[in-house]
Chains A and B, each alone.
Chain A
Amino acid sequence: MNRMQKKAWKDFRIACVITIAIMLLFGVAAYADIKGPKYLIIGLAYASLCVGFMFFLNARIRKRNNKPQYDEREFFLIQRSINVGNHVFIAYVFLALVIAFYLVGGRGMVPMWSIPLALLCGFFIAGTVQFLFLLYHGKEGNE
Chain B
Amino acid sequence: MSKDQLTNTIRRLRFDAGQMTQQALAEKVGVTRQTIIAIEQGKYCPSLMLAIRIARAFGRQVEEVFQLDTPPQ
A52 to chain B, nearest CB (A): 34
Q: Is the CB of A72 within 8 A of B47?
A: yes
Chain B residues with a Cβ closer than 8 Å to the other chain, count: 15
Find the residue from B31, B33, B34, B43 having the highest chain A CB count within 10 A.
B34
Q: Which residues of A contact B37 (CB under 8 A)?
A: 140-143
Q: Give the nearest-CB partner of A142 in chain B.
A: B34
Chain A residues with a Cβ closer than 8 Å to the other chain, count: 13
Q: Is the CB of B34 within 8 A of A2?
A: yes
A3 within 8 A of B: yes
Q: Which residues of B contact A143 (CB under 8 A)?
A: 37, 41
- Contact code string B20-50 (vs A, CB < 8 Å = 1, else 0): 0000000000111111111001011011001
A71 within 8 A of B: yes
The A interface is mostly helix, strand or loop, or mixed, namely: helix
Q: Is the CB of B38 within 8 A of A141?
A: yes
A11 within 8 A of B: no
Measured CA separation A143–B34 after assembly (Å): 9
Q: Is the CB of A73 within 8 A of B30?
A: no
- Which residues of chain A from 1 to 49 have any CB-CB distance to chain B below 8 Å in the complex? 2-4
B32 to chain A, nearest CB (A): 6
Measured CA separation A141–B43 after assembly (Å): 9
Q: Give the nearest-CB partner of B49 in chain A.
A: A72
- Contact code string A107-142 (vs B, CB < 8 Å = 1, else 0): 000000000000000000000000000000010111
For the A-B complex with A2-B34, A72-B35, A73-B32 known, give 8 more contacts whose Cβ atoms are closer than 8 Å: A4-B34, A71-B30, A72-B46, A73-B35, A140-B38, A141-B32, A141-B38, A142-B37
Binding site for A on B (CB under 8 A): 30-38, 41, 43-44, 46-47, 50
